Structure 1
Amino acid sequence: MSEPHIRTELPGPNARALIARDAEVISPSYPRDYPFVMSHGRGTEVWDVDGNRFLDFAAGIAVCSTGHAHPQVVAAVQGAAEKFLHISSDYWHEQMTGLGERLARIAPMGEPAMSFLCQSGTEAVEAAIKLARYVTGRSRFIGFLGGFHGRTMGSLAFTSSKYTQQKGFFATMPGVVHVPYPDPYRPLFAGDNQGVAVLDYIRMLFERSVPASEVAAILVEPIQGEGGYVVPPDGFLAGLRALCDEHGILLIFDEVQSGIGRTGRMFASQHWGVAPDIMTLAKGMGSGLPVGAMVAKKRLMSQWKRGAHGNTYGGNPITCAAANATIDLVEAGMLGNAATVGAHFVNRLVDLANNYPCIGEVRGKGLMIGMELVEADDERTPARALCDAVVTRAFHNGLLLLSCGASTVRFMPPLNVSRDEVDEAIALLRISLDEALAGRGS
C-alpha cells in the first residue's frame, strides 16, 4: 500500500462544497451511487479533492482501460491536439484512417470489415440498427432481457436491464421483441442447457408471432454487462449464429463493455469463436476519451450510400489518437495481463466466497468479473440491500466499485492492474463485506 486511503470523513469538505454547487446546475438524472469527487488519477489509483486515495475498480464503467492518464495515451492526445482539434468527418485525416485500419485488422468477422466512427456506445448501436435495416430491408429486431445498449430512443428500445431506463419514455423505436438471456445461475427454463432453451424460445416466436423473414438482426451482448455480468453457456452464441444464418438475419454483438481486451481476449465473442456480422464498440476503446465504433463486414457497410448516415464529430483526431494508442497498449501486453491477473482475481474471490455464504457465485472472464450476493435463507435469492451496502462501505474504505444486475458487485479495473493491487482490493473488500453484514445484523 503506497499510502493510507482515507484521510477525512467522506465526503470531505471540498467534496461537499462541489456536490452542492453541482446540484444547482447539473441534471439530477445521473445515477450517482456515492459521493466521490475526483481530483486526479494515475493507473489504478485515484484521489478525491480532499486528498483521499482510492483504488478504482470501476474504471469509469470499464472505460479507463489503460488506467488513468497513461503516459502513452496522454502523449498521443497532446500530439494530436497540437496539430488540429477538429475537421469533421466530411474530410480525411491520418488518425481516423489509421484507426479504421486497426479495427479492420483486429475485427473478429473473419472477412474484410469497415468502421463507422462516433462518440459513444449508444451511437454505435444506433448506427448498427440503421445499417441492419438498410441492408436487409427488414424492420424487426430481437433483443434480450437484461441487456443494456444505450439511452437514445433506438438503442433504448433494446435496453431492459432496469425498468427505470424505460419509464416515462414510451414509445421507443417499434419492432423490438425481447427474449430471456440464458443465465445458468438463475435459469428461467427447465433443463440443464439454458442456451438451447432460449434458442428454442426464439424458434417458437418465429412460428407464432415474429416472422423470421421480417427480422433484420438479433442484438446481443456476448457477456451481459449491466444485466449482471452474466456469462452465457457454451454453444449459445454459436447457436445464435446458426439461427441467424438459417433465416438471413444479421447477428450484432454489442461489445461496448466487453471489447478491447476487457475479458482477456480482444473481443468477448472470441472466447467462443463466433463471428458477428456487425459489432459495436466504445467505452475502453479510447482510455477515457469519448469514442465509439460500429464495425461491420465490408460487404454490408459498403452498401451504404453517401449521406445514408453521418456524424459531425465521428473520427475526431483527438479521440482517434487516444484509441490508436489504446489498441497499441492492449496488444503490447495489457491483453495478456487482463487474462492472467483476471484469473488471479477470480481465484481470490472464490477463496473469499468459501468464507462468506452470502457470495452465491463468482463469474466472468478476464477483468470482467461479477460477484453475486445472495440471501442466507436461499442461495439464489438476490441480496439487493447487501449489494448496495457493500458498494457503499467499499467507497468508505477506499475502493471504488459498481453493481449490476439484481445483486452483483462488478469488478472492472484497468487492464494493467497488478496482482498486488488486486490483493489490496480483496483486503478492502473483505473489510467492506464484514461491515455490511454487521450493519444488517448478520
Structure 2
Amino acid sequence: MQASVRVANSDLHAKFGPKLITSVPGPRAQRIVADDHRLISPSYTRGYPLVVKNGRGCRIQDVDGNEFLDFTAGIAVDSTGHCHPEVVKAIQEQAAQLIHMSGTDFYYDLMPQVASRLSAIAPMPGPHRFYFGNSGAEAVECALKLARYHTGRQNIISFFGSFHGRTMGALSLTASKVQQKRRFAPFVPGVTHVPYPYRYRGTGGGPQEEEAYGLSCARFLEEKLFKTMLPPEEVAAIFVEPIQGEGGYVVPPNIFLQELRRICDRHGILLVADEVQSGVGRTGRWWAIEHSGVEPDIVCIAKGIASGMPLGICMAKAELMDWVPGSHASTYGGNPICLAAAMATLNIIEREGMNNAATVGAAAFARLGAWVEKYEIVGDVRGRGLMIGVEIIEDKQSRKQAGALRDRIVDLAFERGLLLLGCGENTVRLCPPLIVTQEETDVALDILECVIEECVMLATR
C-alpha cells in the first residue's frame, strides 16, 4: 500500500518528502547510540534511534545524512521550525552583546519588552506581571508557590492524566504515567487529583452527551470533593491543561473549563492554565484556553515560546503577584539570549505561524477524521490547530488501548523518514512546527496512512 501512495504522489514526495540514503539507524548513528547507552542517564525516554546532526524548517538530518520530515518539533518546542533565520539572527546578535547578567539581581530591557509583548496577547485582562524561569516545570513551580503565597491556602487540585513536569512540585501535580512517580515519594503534600473529561473513554455520545459529561467532571468538585474531604476555602488553585498533552492530546468540552471558572469564582480559588504545550499559537490561537472563552488567573508558558531556547514564564494578573523580594527567583531565568529568541518567535508566529496552524491543522484534521471510519485500529482523532492526537485501538467494539501497536506505528514511520511521538497510553501525536506547509503535511499523512494500512493488513493475516 505504501508503494501505491508514493506513485500517486510521486512528485509531491520527491520534492517535500524525506530522503533516506541508508537504513536507519545508519552506521554512525549506531556508534553514537552505543556510546549514549554507556554514558548517559537511562532515565531518558528515547523511542527510536534518531541521532540528530542539524535541522532546517520542518526537516531534520541525522549523522548519516538521512533527511527526515519532523512532526515532533522537539516535543512542540521548535514552533518556528528548526533554525529559523530570524531566530538565529536574534540569538547571534544578542550573544555578541550580552550572554548573561542575572535578571534576579539586575535589570535589562528585554525582560519588560517580552513581558509587554505577552501582556498584549494575554488570555485575561491586565495589568499583568511576569516571572521568567528556564522550563515549563519551573513555570509550574512558580505558579504553585505563588498561588499558596497569595491566597494563604495550602491545597491544590489537579487532574488525572495531567502532566506538569518532573521537579518535585510539578511532579506532585502530575498524574499521567506511574513511572514518572515511582520511588520518588513523598511528594509535596496538599495535592488532590480529580477526573478530567476524556470524551472517547468517558462517553461515545453526541455533543449534548459530551457536554453533560464535561459538566459532571467539573461539578464533581462541588458535589463530591468539597462535601466529603476537601474544604473549598482551603484550596489555593486548580491547575488544568486546556488540552492535556502527555495524557493523550485530550480536548475537553468547553463547558468543562467554563464550569471550573465558575467554581473558582464562587470559592476564591485561582484558576491556573498550564499552556506549556498548548500555548503560543499551536492551536490556531495564542492560547488553547481562548477556544473556551475562559479567562484564567495564572498562565504557565514554555516550550514554543523561544523556538528551542530554554525559557519558562509564569504570567499572572498583577494583583496576584504580590510577593516580596527573595520569595522566588532564578539565576538563569529570563536569560538575554532566550528572551531575544522569544521576541523573534512571537514576531514569526504573529505574522504567519498562528494562522498557518489553524489552516493547515484544519485540513489535516479533516483528512485524519475520515480514518476513524476507514480503519479499525483508529479509534479517535482529536485536537485543535497543529496539536492533533490519533488514538490507536485494537478494535472498534472493545476500544481496547493498543499501546504496543501505537509504538509500532511510530517506529515504522521513523523507518520511512517521518518523525512522530506518542502520548498517553496509545495515542500518536502530531505537533509539527507551526510553519509546516500543506505539502509537507500531505506527505507526512501519506506516510502515516501507509504505516497504519500496513499494520491493519498484518493484523488481519
TM over 0.5: yes
Cα 1:16–1:323 change in 2 (3 A) is same
* Matching residue of 1:105: 120
* Matching residue of 2:358: 339
1:260-275 to structure 2, matched below 5 A, reads 260-275=280-295
Question: 1:393 touches 1:435 (CA, 8 Å); kept in 2?
Answer: no
* Matching residue of 2:261: 241
1:431-442 to structure 2, matched below 5 A, reads 431-441=450-460
Question: 1:386 touches 1:437 (CA, 8 Å); kept in 2?
Answer: no
* 1:437 shift after superposition: 3.3
1:206-225 to structure 2, matched below 5 A, reads 206-225=226-245
Question: 2:377 touches 2:456 (CA, 8 Å); kept in 1?
Answer: no
1:92-136 CA distance string (max 9 Å, x none): 112222111111111111121111001100000000000000000
Q: Which amino acid counterpart does residue 288 of structure 2 have in structure 1?
A: A
1:296-330 CA distance string (max 9 Å, x none): 000111x1101110000011000001111101111
* Matching residue of 2:9: none
1:7-406 to structure 2, matched below 5 A, reads 7-89=21-103, 90-187=105-202, 192=210, 193-203=212-222, 204-301=224-321, 303-376=322-395, 378=397, 380-406=399-425
1-structure distance, mates of 2:154, 2:412: 47
2:370 is paired with a residue whose SS is: helix
1:236-260 CA distance string (max 9 Å, x none): 1110000000000000000000000
1:253 is paired with a residue whose SS is: strand
* 1:377 shift after superposition: 5.6
Q: Which amino acid counterpart does residue 250 of structure 2 have in structure 1?
A: V
1:146 is paired with a residue whose SS is: coil
* 1:147 shift after superposition: 0.1
Question: 1:189 touches 1:197 (CA, 8 Å); kept in 2?
Answer: no
Question: 1:360 touches 1:379 (CA, 8 Å); kept in 2?
Answer: no
Cα 1:377–1:417 change in 2 (3 A) is closer
* 1:6 shift after superposition: 1.9
Question: 1:264 touches 1:336 (CA, 8 Å); kept in 2?
Answer: yes
1:391-414 CA distance string (max 9 Å, x none): 010000100001111211110000
2:388 is paired with a residue whose SS is: strand
TM-score (norm 1): 0.97
1:316-358 CA distance string (max 9 Å, x none): 0000011111011111111100000000111121233332121
Question: 2:248 touches 2:425 (CA, 8 Å); kept in 1?
Answer: yes
Q: Which amino acid counterpart does residue 316 of structure 2 have in structure 1?
A: A
1-structure distance, mates of 2:390, 2:34: 33
1:42-87 CA distance string (max 9 Å, x none): 1111111111111100110000000000000000000100001100
2-structure distance, mates of 1:369, 1:401: 12
Question: 1:142 touches 1:217 (CA, 8 Å); kept in 2?
Answer: yes
Q: Which amino acid counterpart does residue 220 of structure 1 have in structure 2?
A: V
1-structure distance, mates of 2:84, 2:398: 41
Q: Which amino acid counterpart does residue 27 of structure 2 have in structure 1?
A: P
2-structure distance, mates of 1:353, 1:40: 36
Q: How many residues align?
A: 441
Cα 1:4–1:114 change in 2 (3 A) is closer
* 1:12 shift after superposition: 0.5
2-structure distance, mates of 1:104, 1:377: 45
Cα 1:247–1:12 change in 2 (3 A) is same
* 1:5 shift after superposition: 2.4
2-structure distance, mates of 1:385, 1:136: 45
2-structure distance, mates of 1:174, 1:421: 47
* 1:379 shift after superposition: 5.1
Q: Which amino acid counterpart does residue 172 of structure 1 have in structure 2?
A: F
* 1:234 shift after superposition: 2.2
1:408-427 CA distance string (max 9 Å, x none): 11100000111100100011
Cα 1:56–1:4 change in 2 (3 A) is closer
- Residue 407 in 1 paired to residue 453 in 2? no
Question: 1:371 touches 1:408 (CA, 8 Å); kept in 2?
Answer: yes
Structure 2 residues not aligned, in runs of 5+: 1-13
2-structure distance, mates of 1:437, 1:389: 12
1-structure distance, mates of 2:396, 2:256: 32
2-structure distance, mates of 1:245, 1:351: 40
TM-score (norm 2): 0.93
Comparing 77-86 and 90-99, the one that deviates more: 90-99
2-structure distance, mates of 1:326, 1:386: 36
Question: 2:226 touches 2:232 (CA, 8 Å); kept in 1?
Answer: yes
Q: Which amino acid counterpart does residue 281 of structure 1 have in structure 2?
A: I
Question: 1:116 touches 1:294 (CA, 8 Å); kept in 2?
Answer: yes
2-structure distance, mates of 1:378, 1:40: 44
Question: 1:393 touches 1:432 (CA, 8 Å); kept in 2?
Answer: yes
Q: Which amino acid counterpart does residue 297 of structure 2 have in structure 1?
A: D
| CA root-mean-square deviation | 1.5
* 1:434 shift after superposition: 2.7
* 1:385 shift after superposition: 1.5
